[in-house]
Chains A and B, each alone.
Chain A
Amino acid sequence: MSVAALDPAREGRGDFDWSARFSRFAVYAVLVFAALVFLVPLMSMVFTSLKDMDEIRGGNLLAPPAEVTFSAWVKAWSEACISVQCDGLAPYFINSLLIVVPAVIISVGLGALNGYVLTMWRFPGADWVFAGLLFGCFIPFQIVLIPMARMLGIMGLAGSIPGVVFVHIVYGIGFTTLFFRNYYASVPKELVKAASVDGAGFWGTWWHILMPISWPIVTVAVIWQFTGVWNDFLFGVSFSSGGSQPVTVALNNLVNTSTGVKEYNVDMAGAMISAFPTLFVYVVAGRFFLRGLMSGAVKG
């Protein structure tokens, strides 16, 4: 909707509508300003990461690099010293991948299954189970840190990647269940009845009938979980140790390393490397936001 259309009474007047013009201009001005507020720091980051230290020390923070160099990126990726090791962010980046992939797949899968059971195969007390899961969504992370650390210790997962994965799955199930339950609640029950008459069982109905129409909500759940898990710092710093730390924790250590000079270009490159996967997921997953997947199931 265009801004001018917000006030239909103004339209249709013969003379030139200065007031509509002005309000449109004002809105764009605000939007451009807001965009700049976000883009200028990003631009500064990109520029800084492409400069060498001499140029940074001598030049303007907002000026483009006089000479483009990728050495800071290379250093951040594979050479920078984090704590005592000097292998860059790469090993921690891989840790993060090892955490995020199973955590997202398992929590989204379980959420879909929960949503399916809670809507289509309702059992006595289903509402209480759902209420319990929902409640789990609202427990602040900080409260569970110590009990969770104890749990992981008992399970023998303390300080390991599987331990961090486990925590993320447990925390994610509440949200993913909520997403899928609400989505499946809008799916006609007759679809499931029809499948059951056609001979599809519990799993067959889920796999053949519901999953193919679940892509919009799978996308939402994956983006939500991926961003949450990848950007997590608290669980990572609490439940992992040394070699199993995720990239967010490593980035923090990289930036806070106090020895030697502060290499702003390496810090900036490292920050962007750490942020890149979430950006990637948004762009790729956004394509799966297909509309109207459910249309045609029931009458026009």
Chain B
Amino acid sequence: MTTLAVENLKKNFGSTQVLKDIDMEIGTGDFLVLVGPSGCGKSTLLNVIAGLEKQTAGQVMIAGRDVSNLQPKERDIAMVFQSYALYPSMTVERNIGFSLEMAGVDKAVRAERIREVAELLKIKDLLKRRPSQLSGGQRQRVAMGRALVREPQVFLFDEPLSNLDAKLRVDMRIEIKKLHQRLGATIVYVTHDQIEAMTMATKIAVMKDGIIQQFGGPKDIYDRPSNTFVATFMGSPAMNLLSGVARKAGSEWVVDHGSQQVAVPRHIDVSALREGQEVLLGIRPEAVHLTAEVAHDDRIDQVWEFERVIDVTEPTGPATLALFEIDGTEFHASLSGDAVVEAGHSYAFTADLAKALVFDALSEQRIAHVDEAGASEADQAA
């Protein structure tokens, strides 16, 4: 069932168009993550959904009801703010119960709801404290409690974890995910962090300049990004893009990028390619291995082998990142953590092309896969 639908939504601040024709739909229990670079309009979209900003055009539907012209309190939503925005003069208890208090809920009922939420979030011992007496993580929990106590149709989170330190962030990320699984709540969640996006989302919307670039499941977004922006935005280090020209060599298509030619992987629908078309070959860093480490019996049947001098290595623990250049383009490889490599030395690399992508260099759109041929991309995503 569709819980939240945004239709042809536009938002201008004066003459600046911040949201341009946003369209999306999520069902009950979905966890939608909005990602995108700073200033792309994520918070604005969330504020419009919440009713804190008025849309310039378009509609917001919540649970089948057109709420476009309703006050925030009438929309049946709850919001967790980046800064938490706890009421400084109130105890944790009253902070959590404030929305119920405003709705005129009976005191006993209120107390019971607050107790339940506090138990769920493990903050029962903090109820009598004031926000100034809490740690960052505890404040975060209280802010969540304030949203949870209302049992709304949709939860809106605006970068709720960005003020926490790295360790706490991972903990809270898991807790929010657990909470989502347990409550089956419908959530719209804004973040900068693409790990958060990948790990928590059931649906991801990648935004840029007020436009949704792609809307789909995390795996779709990662494996089949619709354009180079999405491809390089999701994943760290970013996907490598090698520019070249599509050529037909016998019955095979290759990407010719000067010094070398790379066979176009078999899953790419070559009927969409033209001889001489400028293309970008997309290879994720984790698909690049040291040839010495690739076992012979590996089922890697489409590969591209090359030798390069490593410029910089960055051991991260689980992986060792190697940076080198291919025809003037920076290229990242994410090697195994045990790989013994040194900057300034040349190594043989093997790139697994099983998940490689080809983009049209001009439009920056991805060339369709064979299994998508005929079917439109939109149908695939849905």
Contact yes or no, B85 A194, CB < 8 A: yes
* B78, B85, B131, B139 — most chain A CB neighbours (10 Å): B85
When each residue 46-66 of chain B gets 1 if its CB lies under 8 Å from chain A and 0 otherwise, what string results? 010010100000000000000
Contact yes or no, A188 B73, CB < 8 A: no
Q: Counting CB contacts under 8 A, is B166 at the interface?
A: no
Contact yes or no, A297 B99, CB < 8 A: no
When each residue 178-220 of chain A gets 1 if its CB lies under 8 Å from chain B and 0 otherwise, what string results? 0000000000101101111111100010001100110000000
Give A138-184 interface residues, CB cut-off 8 Å to B.
none
Interface stretch of the complex, out of A5-13, A68-76, A288-296: A288-296
Give B168-209 interface residues, CB cut-off 8 Å to A.
none
Contact yes or no, B88 A193, CB < 8 A: no
Contact residues in A for B83 (Cβ distance below 8 Å):
188, 190, 297-299
Q: Which residue of the partner chain, among A213, A295, A298, contacts B85 with CB atoms under 8 Å?
A: A298
Contact residues in B for A195 (Cβ distance below 8 Å):
87, 98
Alpha-carbon distance between A200 and B136 when the two chains are bound, in angstroms: 25
When each residue 254-276 of chain B gets 1 if its CB lies under 8 Å from chain A and 0 otherwise, what string results? 00000000000000000000000
Contact yes or no, A300 B86, CB < 8 A: no
Q: Residues of B within 8 Å of A, CB-based: how many?
A: 33
* A135 to B: closest C-beta gap in Å: 27
Contact yes or no, A196 B52, CB < 8 A: yes
Contact residues in B for A299 (Cβ distance below 8 Å):
83-84, 136, 139, 163
When each residue 258-300 of chain A gets 1 if its CB lies under 8 Å from chain B and 0 otherwise, what string results? 0000000000000000000000000000000000111111111
Q: Which residue of the partner chain, among A190, A200, A292, contacts B132 with CB atoms under 8 Å?
A: A292
Contact yes or no, B102 A199, CB < 8 A: yes
Q: Counting CB contacts under 8 A, is B280 at the interface?
A: no
Contact residues in B for A191 (Cβ distance below 8 Å):
85, 87-88
Give B69-89 interface residues, CB cut-off 8 Å to A.
71-73, 77-79, 81-89
Alpha-carbon distance between A196 and B88 when the two chains are bound, in angstroms: 16
Contact yes or no, A197 B78, CB < 8 A: yes
Contact yes or no, B89 A212, CB < 8 A: yes
Contact yes or no, A296 B88, CB < 8 A: yes
Given contacts A198-B102, A204-B102, contact A296 B85 (CB under 8 A): no
Contact residues in A for B102 (Cβ distance below 8 Å):
198-200, 204
Closest A residue, CB atoms, query B150:
A198
Q: Counting CB contacts under 8 A, is B300 at the interface?
A: no
Contact residues in A for B84 (Cβ distance below 8 Å):
297-299
* A175 to B: closest C-beta gap in Å: 25
Contact residues in B for A190 (Cβ distance below 8 Å):
81-83, 85
Contact residues in A for B130 (Cβ distance below 8 Å):
296
* B187 to A: closest C-beta gap in Å: 15
Contact yes or no, B103 A193, CB < 8 A: no
Contact residues in A for B163 (Cβ distance below 8 Å):
299-300
Closest A residue, CB atoms, query B102:
A199
Contact residues in A for B82 (Cβ distance below 8 Å):
190
Q: Counting CB contacts under 8 A, is B133 at the interface?
A: yes
Q: Counting CB contacts under 8 A, is B224 at the interface?
A: no
Contact yes or no, A209 B132, CB < 8 A: no
Contact yes or no, B132 A197, CB < 8 A: no
* B54 to A: closest C-beta gap in Å: 13
* B170 to A: closest C-beta gap in Å: 18
Alpha-carbon distance between A294 and B130 when the two chains are bound, in angstroms: 11
Alpha-carbon distance between A199 and B147 when the two chains are bound, in angstroms: 12
* B81 to A: closest C-beta gap in Å: 5
Q: Counting CB contacts under 8 A, is B146 at the interface?
A: yes
- The 10 A-B residue pairs whose C-beta atoms are closest, nearest first, are A296-B132, A296-B131, A212-B89, A199-B73, A199-B102, A190-B85, A198-B99, A298-B83, A194-B85, A299-B163
Known: A197-B52, A212-B90, A293-B89; 18 extra A-B contacts, CB below 8 A, are: A190-B82, A193-B52, A193-B79, A194-B81, A196-B71, A197-B50, A199-B103, A200-B98, A200-B102, A208-B87, A295-B88, A296-B139, A297-B83, A297-B85, A298-B84, A298-B85, A298-B86, A300-B135
